[in-house]
Structure 1
Amino acid sequence: MGNFSHNPSADVRSAFEAEIAKELCSSLDEVADGRIKVRHIESDFANLPGVDFTLDLDADGSPVRIAVEALRYAYPRDVQGAVWKLDEFKHAYNHDRFDDLILLVAAESLSPGARDLLRKRGIGYFERNGNLNLKWRNWLINIERPDPPSVRKEATSLFTDSREAVVHALLVNRHKWLSGGDLAAMSQTSPYTVSVVLQELERREWCESSGAGRTLRRRLHKPRELLAAWAAQWTRRKEQRSSWYFFSERPNLLLTKLTDKIESSNPSFDWAFTGTAAANVYAPLLTSVDTAEIIVPPGEAEGLARDMRLKPADKGANVVFVERDGASLLFRDAVPEYPSYFASPFIMYLDLLNGRGRNKELADHLLEKLEL
């Protein structure tokens, strides 16, 4: 077998390629019960423009060459780049010594979408956990193994205070191609936070990308999956809530009357209606709602309630202050019939997942209107 050339500027990369080449050779020998023998490994870039290394095989007495592109943790976008390199190598390939050429991607780990893309393109793949998919003539090798515990990585949390602001921005702008700078401005977060979220969404294959460098843009293409993941986390959180009573002769005027009171108090902070009453304005379903929920920043509920002359109420309350900041008050919306601030429909949807009354039914109705 040949030796991998030593390049001081790429020691880690060379070591990785050498290791994965050795493991691929061992796997081929094991699954073919000795019918495949590796005769030579070539890794000299001068002889292999475009690919990382090749394996020269003797398969049932026939000379076969496997051209390999090596990747670390690969997702569809990474694999697409490898496919282009392998295709270029194939088109420039000299068949004098080897009539058969097999194209293959070897990786530390491939995402399900990456494996699917390779299968559709007819390109083999190998993963360090032992997964191997390879077609040659009438041979089909397809080995699927679970990842060992050391390879399984805990998913990055998408729903810390700052990261869920990026999630919120992506959901609101789900049909748009956005740069990292666009998302940072919309979500009022740092470029680093945006980058962490986008990397995790790519890992889960919930967003797609276009371009590279300064022209790189992403678009959320699985908004329902992202919203479901946010909902699962949302229902587990604990937050400060307080209940109050406000006299209103007609429940259907509750939001209007409360808006007047809030505006008269002239708060120095943002606020928004959410929950059942607000959602029923956005996506009408219920004939009557007699309780209003209002999002205010932490520590502001008691002072605003006092300015509005509300009365504390454990029973018979019709106003609930929910103390939150961050994503909850981003993308507030106005409804023409009400001179009020409403939380975005995504926040309203999440706040309906509390199991109270007909909130689940209203949440489903709101979700239909969002057309995810």
Structure 2
Amino acid sequence: MQKNIEVKEHELLNELCRAISALPGSSVRQRNCEARISSRYVPDGLLDVSLNNHNFELVVEAKRELFPRDVRQQIWQLREYLDGMNGSVEKVAMLIAGAISKGAREVLQQESIGYFDPGGSLFIPSARAYVLIDRPPPKKANRAFGSIFQGQRARVVQAVVEAAPNWVSVKELAEDTGVSPATASETLTEMERRDWLEVEGAGPAKLRRLRERGLVLDEWSRLIVNQKPLRIERYYVPGSDAAQIARRLDDACRDAHARYAVTAEAAAQVYAPYLSSISQLKCRIQGGSARNEALSRLEARPVSEGWNLGVIEEAGRQHIVIGERIDGIAYAPPVQVYLDLLQGSGRAKEMADHLRSERLAG
């Protein structure tokens, strides 16, 4: 395992050298680092750089991924190492990684610590050879950034966002979301790495709360828009508008013992009214025979055009999260509604912005 890590560090260093060499009037040479002995810190790379006739040394630490908390923990080690180096040539600390979050980049720029990722972003805060190239993260980075927004972890993140500005505990989140305490704890730790949470206490009594909803929603929405559109089964059911269809849906699902939640435009219109009327309704219904029975009770007829009921594909009952029941109708939580709207068409994105400003600000 250690050998594989070293290979990746070597590849990142080579990519960094190529990126610096591509700059006008530049040259770079790798030096051998001293061997790591016991717990004494040694960086992953030392580079002699000449840029526009200015010579300096880059002291480089390589990581698989970087989030704000990782960066803050690493900065003091790099600075301590720089303080112990000899010579009069300028020395610049740098962190490189396969994925560097937006928040981590901001911290590094504020602290004048360089960074580089395989997407081509490069920051060299030398006193006489300042370089800042800002490019989108590499596609592979989306796996590191997006893993927290998938599966059961997504349910925990959603619950924390919905709870803001209240404090939450691992036990409460596990009970509210139905995930294991281990999953809740791991997800909260990942949110801390991204600097999204305030923390109080320690151990079993440890509490967290969201610093700002926008930090999470911005990152989640950035990833959502690059995903494939939602898979929706389209039906026509007797009914004049979304409100009437919702009442019939509730009756049918209750009789069929099928868990459901209305989302997207119809839910947004209830949470934060925006349009004069909604003619189509999108929802999630648990899969299997219960859904088939509910659709049968609705007299739902599959169609390609002229649909007024869209059923978003979901695997099972545990994936149907209900935020509120309003006038007897089960609606998805506002965060889920917001994310579903971002993947919609027409005026869905306008409704998403309105819902966010009305129900998810702060």
Query: Counterparts of 1:123 and 1:305 in 2: how far apart (Å)?
Result: 58
Task: Give the superposition deviation at 1:98.
Answer: 3.0
Identify which of 65, 68, 76 aligns with 2:68.
76
Cα deviation code 1:56-82 (max 9, x no counterpart)? 97999x998765544343333322212
Query: Counterparts of 1:22 and 1:135 in 2: how far apart (Å)?
Result: 20
Task: Give the superposition deviation at 1:369.
Answer: 1.4
Query: Which stretch shows the higher mean deviation, 37-46 or 107-116?
Result: 37-46
Q: Which residue of 1 aligns with 2:272?
A: 283
**Counterpart amino acid of residue 333 in structure 1:** E
- Unaligned stretches of 5+ residues in structure 2: none
Identify which of 293, 311, 322 aligns with 2:311.
322
**Counterpart amino acid of residue 43 in structure 2:** D
**Counterpart amino acid of residue 208 in structure 1:** W
Query: Counterparts of 1:269 and 1:223 in 2: how far apart (Å)?
Result: 30
**Counterpart amino acid of residue 70 in structure 2:** D
Task: Give the superposition deviation at 1:245.
Answer: 1.9
Q: Which residue of 2 aligns with 1:254?
A: 244
Task: Give the superposition deviation at 1:223.
Answer: 0.7
Query: Counterparts of 1:131 and 1:252 in 2: how far apart (Å)?
Result: 47
Task: Give the superposition deviation at 1:134.
Answer: 4.2
**Counterpart amino acid of residue 52 in structure 1:** P
Query: Counterparts of 2:344 and 2:11 in 1: how far apart (Å)?
Result: 51
Query: Counterparts of 1:20 and 1:78 in 2: how far apart (Å)?
Result: 18
Identify which of 118, 122, 129 aligns with 1:140.
129
SS in 1 for 2:129: strand
Identify which of 351, 355, 358 aligns with 1:366.
355
| Residue correspondence of structure 1 range 33-112 to structure 2 within 5 A | 41-43=33-35, 45=37, 49-52=40-43, 67-89=59-81, 93=84, 97-99=86-88, 102-109=91-98, 111=100
SS in 2 for 1:88: helix
Identify which of 148, 155, 171 aligns with 2:142.
155
Q: Which residue of 2 aligns with 1:226?
A: 220
2:325/2:331 contact within 8 Å kept: yes
Query: Counterparts of 1:88 and 1:26 in 2: how far apart (Å)?
Result: 28
Cα deviation code 1:142-198 (max 9, x no counterpart)? 3759899xx752633667665654554354346567677765554434678779988
1:328/1:343 contact within 8 Å kept: no
Tell which structure's C-alpha radius of gyration is larger. Answer: 1
TM-score after normalising by structure 2 = 0.63
Task: Give the superposition deviation at 1:83.
Answer: 0.6
Query: Counterparts of 1:126 and 1:73 in 2: how far apart (Å)?
Result: 11
Q: Report the CA distance shift for 1:218/1:155 in structure 2 as closer, same or farther (over 3 A).
A: farther
Q: Which residue of 2 aligns with 1:239?
A: 232
1:183/1:194 contact within 8 Å kept: yes
**Counterpart amino acid of residue 237 in structure 2:** W
SS in 1 for 2:140: coil
2:59/2:93 contact within 8 Å kept: yes
Cα deviation code 1:288-312 (max 9, x no counterpart)? 55666554222434423555xx545
Query: Counterparts of 2:120 and 2:280 in 1: how far apart (Å)?
Result: 58
Q: Which residue of 2 aligns with 1:268?
A: 257
SS in 2 for 1:245: coil
Q: Report the CA distance shift for 1:153/1:339 in structure 2 as closer, same or farther (over 3 A).
A: closer
TM-score after normalising by structure 1 = 0.61
Identify which of 293, 302, 306 aligns with 1:303.
293
1:42/1:54 contact within 8 Å kept: no
Q: Report the CA distance shift for 1:57/1:318 in structure 2 as closer, same or farther (over 3 A).
A: closer
**Counterpart amino acid of residue 216 in structure 2:** K
Q: Is 1:172 paired with 2:159?
A: no
Query: Counterparts of 1:351 and 1:34 in 2: how far apart (Å)?
Result: 48
Task: Give the superposition deviation at 1:140.
Answer: 0.9
SS in 1 for 2:73: helix
Same amino acid, percent of matched pairs: 24
**Counterpart amino acid of residue 240 in structure 1:** E
